[in-house]
Chains A and B, each alone.
Chain A
Amino acid sequence: MNRVPLQQKVLSENDRLAASLRERFREHGVLCVNLISSPGSGKTTLLERTLEALPREARVAVLTGDIQTENDAARLKRFGFPVKQITTGGTCHLDARMIERHLADWNLEDLDILFIENVGNLVCPSSYDLGEAAKIVILSVTEGEDKPLKYPSIFFKSELLILSKVDLLPYVPFNLEAAEENARRIHPGMEVLRISCAKSDGLEAWLTWLKNRREAFQHACREVVLR
């Protein structure tokens, strides 16, 4: 019997591809954000409202993942920005290879922000690095405020928590403060935004977050080039 020690990541192939994507995003100064939530928390709606609010000349694009249908891409294409659907055909998450393949005929030089809408799932997407600069987790107030405790991994790995559908608070027993506290137990210092796409509440703060994050990212990219 011979024990051969190995020092490698289980998902080393995905990690390798993700690292090469991250390098390309950095080279071209493209802020890539990976939006993750349960099905029905409002990822697509948030993206609709985001694209709607951006000026026509904004350099943004969307990759949207689902197990089946092109419905989300159809919804998002209406705003005139490049949008591509990734249909996984059953797989519960996006992986770096899918991103690489679907980026193939876009020129990253033309972009400032790439939004990736992951498959609706709070578990599996947290294991797969897509080369993004930030993961963003969305939790709607029609879910439980203990979700950060039930699905700690994704809250731990996400930079920003968006609490969505806050216009429904009068009708549901959801405690915003408890949800934020739970998220910060898992991830001390986590940033949180409260948003209602239906009432347009909190959208300005979200757009400001994006703008600041993009500027900080692009500044950091230039720093690397200068060094």
Chain B
Amino acid sequence: MREINCRASVEPMHEMGIANSILEATQKEADRHPGSRACKVGVRIGEMTAIDMESLRFCFDALTRDTELDGLELEIEWCPRRHRCWNCDGVFVVTNHDCRCPKCASLDTVCIGGEELELSYVEVEENEPSATAAEST
């Protein structure tokens, strides 16, 4: 079984670094729960982060394969670009890069969402009795 930390030091795409950081945080959390293993991790990724979801999943799978995190599920919550209007205080999702407030047409709006690159949760479950223990009985 490969070491989780035995990863490529080179990141031909930055999704590899992102996937690696997600896994490090997941492992760190799992280590706080002895006798358990991480089975799922949730992340929030904003539209403006320039992260390609498919690449991220590809890197995530490549980094976990044949490690103790093999089978770890990745749940991605995609967060669109959202703005708040200073004029009418409305909040809206920006579509087609149009930052104009759809309610009052003001251009005086500020970005309040879409830059997320966050871990939201890790799910851990208790290890099943190991195969070797089962065999010895």
Contact = CB atoms under 8 A, between A and B. Distances in A.
Given A8-B25, A10-B25, A127-B49, A185 B97 contact: yes
Contact of B48 (A2, A11, A149, A153): A153
A93 B109 CA distance: 31
A154 B29 contact: no
A4 interface: yes
Contacts of B57: none
A150 to B, nearest CB: 11
Contacts of A157: 48
Residue with the highest number of chain A CB atoms closer than 10 Å, among B9, B22, B118, B125 = B118
A10 B50 contact: no
B51 interface: yes
Given A91-B11, A188-B99, A5 B50 contact: no
Interface residues of B, number: 35
B29 A4 contact: yes
Interface string A179-207: 00000011010000000000000000000
Contact of B117 (A2, A10, A13, A154): A10
A1 B12 CA distance: 35
A6 B51 contact: no
Interface string A1-22: 1111111111111100000000
Given A2-B36, A123-B14, A123-B50, A8 B119 contact: yes
Contacts of A185: 97-99
B12 A6 contact: no
A151 B50 contact: yes
Contacts of A1: 39, 123-125
A209 interface: no
B9 to A, nearest CB: 8
A139 B50 CA distance: 17
Nearest to A128: B14
B12 A92 contact: yes
Q: Interface residues of B: mostly helix, strand, loop or mixed? A: mixed
Interface residues of A, number: 36
Nearest to B97: A185
A156 interface: yes
Residue with the highest number of chain A CB atoms closer than 10 Å, among B29, B50, B123 = B50
Contacts of B39: 1
A82 interface: no
A98 B111 CA distance: 30
Contacts of A124: 11, 13-14, 50
Given A127-B50, A153-B48, A154-B50, A188 B36 contact: no
B131 interface: no
Interface string B99-137: 100000001010100000111111111000000000000
A114 B124 CA distance: 45
Given A11-B21, A124-B11, A186-B97, 16 more contacts: A2-B33, A4-B33, A6-B119, A6-B122, A8-B25, A8-B118, A11-B17, A12-B21, A90-B11, A91-B11, A91-B12, A92-B13, A123-B14, A124-B14, A152-B48, A153-B49
Interface of A: 1-14, 88-93, 95, 123-124, 126-128, 149, 151-154, 156-157, 185-186, 188
